[in-house]
Amino acid sequence: GDFREAFLSPEYVAQHGAADGLRSIRDAFTALKLACWVNTVEKRMFSAPYETKDCEVKMGYFLQHFAAVLQDPESAWSDWQDEYRAVVGGFDALAQGADCGVDTVKKVGLTILRCPEPLHYYSLFSHTVGSDVVLSIYDHQRYEVECKYTQFVEVHSRPVWPRLDMAPLATVLNSIEVGLPPGCAWVANRFTETGPLLRLQREGEGALTKAQRYGHPCDRPFTPSSIPETTLAAIVTSFLEYGLQGLRPRRGGWSWAELQAINAQVPWQAWVNTVLEQHACGELTSGAGARPTLLPMSPSRRISGDHAVSLAPPLQPYTLPALSDNGSSILCKDDIATLAALAVPARFAQAKWSLAYCTQRDGISLHTLYRKAAGKAPSLLVIKDNGGFIFGAYA
């Protein structure tokens, strides 16, 4: 039942349906009925979709009954009609409601949805076809940013933008919030999750349960923010514009190694500083057109073939030391060359460098770090925190 993007208008079918083999609005509504039938029966008879304890029994049941419902969806009307009505009603409200709106920033794959209250996922995401990040804006300055599952799976029907880690965005939003209860903060899921969320979380509320994360926005609690919606939309747009400079969407998606490399190359601290400076000067509250000025990224990047590559050389012709493996998941080769020239004694600059410990490769364990680093000197410790800041030490 993981349907999400329903082409529930002739315009969506005409614009996007061909890539998925969909040419009739009637087929789109039939697909919605089938998805709602699966959801309802699964919820009534089996475990949640993200649980595995009864997968074989569940699959056996649906394989046995699916053909009959596909041939005559109306025979299962009592099962799918409640959710179907909720989805279609929410979709129509977003499209036609006086207090609703859908805006797309195509150049960064962002859709901004505005409606009074959270809706069913199918209602919301059916207006985001072609986008990979969704900013949902509800009444009373309640917000949620989601990186869509399209960045998690291999999508071949359309190009997909690479996913950015939202930790730097959370850092900025937490810095400009005012008057919130103690312990209330913007929290971002790890960018390796299926659909990471960035949302304001109240102390004592605790992290969302798995059922809430995988469920519909209308089933989640929301905390009002002090940030005006025009300011928030401007900052989210700037975050994507800055992080995706020199990149373009690609069919088939991106490997985790590529995404790690792309995120490691973005100098987020410069972006964070600029946004906070502009906010302090009142430049982000002048209206819907306000947007933080983009800073030049160094090094600039583009896509050549299937890979993100560096275009700009280091500021000085530093020489890369010999590396025993592919290097760091945090530092690019230009960073390593600069560290070798400026941060370690000259006699070690061109020695062979080896990666002793890496959380991406070795897991997160202080004991493992101590064991692997024991007896290895001199050494560099490089750390990237949840805010995207990189720091370290030489010993």
Where is the domain boundary, 36, 69, 97?
97
- Three-class SS of residue 261? helix
Residue 4's pLDDT band, with cuts at 50, 70 and 90, is low
Are 230 and 107 in the same domain?
yes
Q: pTM of the full predicted structure?
A: 0.71
Are 66 and 145 in the same domain?
no
User: Please, which residues have CB within 8 angstroms of residue 92's CB and are 6 or more apart in sequence?
Assistant: none
Are 75 and 112 in the same domain?
no
User: Does residue 303 belong to any structural domain of this protein?
Assistant: no
User: Does residue 256 belong to any structural domain of this protein?
Assistant: yes
Where is the domain boundary, 62, 82, 97?
97
User: Does residue 48 belong to any structural domain of this protein?
Assistant: yes
Q: Cα separation of 338 and 335, whole Å?
A: 5
Average pLDDT (373-378) is: 86
What pLDDT, on the 0 to 100 scale, is given for residue 317?
47
Are 119 and 131 in the same domain?
yes
Are 155 and 204 in the same domain?
yes
What pLDDT, on the 0 to 100 scale, is given for residue 238?
92
Are 126 and 106 in the same domain?
yes
Are 128 and 271 in the same domain?
yes
User: Please, which residues have CB within 8 angstroms of residue 22's CB and are 6 or more apart in sequence?
Assistant: 7, 13, 28, 31
Q: Quick check: 309 pLDDT over 80?
A: no
Are 245 and 338 in the same domain?
no
User: Does residue 250 belong to any structural domain of this protein?
Assistant: yes
What pLDDT, on the 0 to 100 scale, is given for residue 338?
73
Are 103 and 91 in the same domain?
no
Q: Which of 278, 254, 105 is nearest to 191 (CA)?
A: 254
What pLDDT, on the 0 to 100 scale, is given for residue 101?
92
Q: Cα separation of 43 and 244, whole Å?
A: 39
Strand partners, 113: 102, 136
109 CB neighbour count, 10 Å cutoff: 24
Tokens of 282: 């009142």
Are 256 and 270 in the same domain?
yes
Residue 292's pLDDT band, with cuts at 50, 70 and 90, is low
Q: What percent of the chain has pLDDT over 90?
A: 43
Task: Output 252 or 202, whichever has higher pLDDT.
Answer: 252
User: How many folded domains does the chain comprise?
Assistant: 3
Are 58 and 105 in the same domain?
no
- HSE toward the beta carbon, residue 357, CA cutoff 13 A: 19
Are 196 and 223 in the same domain?
yes
Where is the domain boundary, 81, 97, 113?
97
Which residue range(s) make up the domain with 253?
Answer: 99-287
